[in-house]
Structure 1
Amino acid sequence: MDNNIEFNVNLGIKEIKEIIPHRYPFLLIDKVTYMEPGKKVVAYKNVTMNEYFFQGHFPQEPVMPGVLIVESLAQAGAVAILSQENFKGKIAYFGGINKAKFRKKVVPGDILRLEVEMIKIKGPAGIAKGIAYVDDKKACEAEVMFMIGDASV
């Protein structure tokens, strides 16, 4: 595959669920609009007041937990890496989080644009850099380390 090819895609929930194992209430991406399998992805999360975590974080001022923003980035990255032919049907597990910075509150009504790019992949392990934007402003950035494993039946 030519690594310079750009892929404008329109993956919805159904297609995302065919790639990653996450399900409600923990599926934290809604669509994918750009993907280079194994390299880069652009995905979106529509943040609504109906999210389960807003019941307790925080009832008086709903804010999306930072760890769930990082999880959204990781799920977007998992779509890219698990779309690569040699990793189809596998699971991407968290191996670590580095350089996480939170720059803006994410609240109901926001649309998170999740941009994730693979920095390094060696065998079944890798590192990706993700940036979450709201209205073209950085809300969060982090490096995520992952390991690819087999899905147990």
Structure 2
Amino acid sequence: MSAKSANLKEFLTLPVLETLNQEQIKSNIPHRDPFLLVDEVHVLEHGKKYLGIRHVRADEYYFQGHFPNNPVMPGVLVVESMSQAFGGAIMSTVSKGKGIPLFLSIDEAKFRGMVLPNDTLKMPIEVLRLGKISKIYAEAYVNGKLCTQATLNFILGESSND
């Protein structure tokens, strides 16, 4: 599969091997409310393919200012949601409980549609490289429509608890 083909239709045909809930995700990444932006992750192929889910609530803090009369989830937070879905699913494997994933770069990000209050983001993630430096291709969909896509690169950084 090429780096630009992590499409939702294909991912929805794959069997779910495991579903990680928010508590399991929190055991792998340091994010907490109000900045925890992923609700569950479906493991489709260990170390290769995941599907992140985010139920965007109407009372999300960022809707107060982005934009008060026309609330839209900021695109950078959609990218952050994709990142957290990856980290929440894979970091215990990569870091063995030590370190945190930090962005190295966000490449070829494209924003193609809006994410509104009460939408559900479905985020297919394909791992391109896994290790101290990891790379993924991720997309985000609302109601089957592509709204965001990007290639994300991470480095395993030291946490303050290491």
Q: Same fold (TM over 0.5)?
A: yes
Cross-structure match for 2:31: 22
State the Cα deviation string for residues 65-86 of structure 1 (Å, max 9, x = none). Answer: 00000000111111233132x4
Match in the other structure for 1:93: 102
Residues 118-129 of structure 1: pairs in structure 2 closer than 5 A: 118-121=127-130, 123-129=131-137
Residue 82, structure 1, aligned to residue 91, structure 2: yes
Is the contact made by 1:44 and 1:114 (CA closer than 8 Å) also made in structure 2? yes
Q: Distance in 2 between matches of 1:24 and 1:36?
A: 28
**Cα-to-partner distance string for 1:69-126 (whole Å, 9 max, x where unaligned):** 0000111111233132x423131101110110111100011100011111123x4112
2:145 is aligned to: 137
2:104 maps to amino acid: G
Deviation at 1:11, TM superposition (A): 1.6
1:32-43 equivalences under 5 Å are 32-43=41-52
Aligned equivalents of 1:108 and 1:55: distance in 2?
A: 11
Residue segments in structure 2 that go unaligned for 5+ positions in a row: 1-14
Q: Report how many aligned residue pairs link the two structures.
A: 146
Q: Deviation above 4 Å: which 4+ runs of structure 1?
A: none
Matches of 1:7 and 1:109, distance apart in 2? 24
Counterpart code for 1:39: K
Structure 1 CA distance for aligned equivalents of residues 20 and 90 of structure 2: 15
- Tell me how far 1:35 sits from its aligned partner: 4.4
Q: Give 1:15 shift.
A: 1.0
Report the RMSD for the aligned CA atoms in angstroms: 1.5
Q: Distance in 2 between matches of 1:81 and 1:16?
A: 9
- Percent identical residues: 44
Quote the Cα distance in structure 1 between the aligned partners of 2:74 and 2:47: 27
For residue 69 of structure 1, the aligned residue among 72, 78, 82 is 78
Deviation at 1:140, TM superposition (A): 0.3
Change (3 A) 1:149 1:36: farther
Unaligned runs of 5+ in 1: 1-5
In structure 1, C-alpha distance between the alignment counterparts of 2:134 and 2:43, rounded to whole Å: 20
Distance 1:143 1:61 in 2: 28
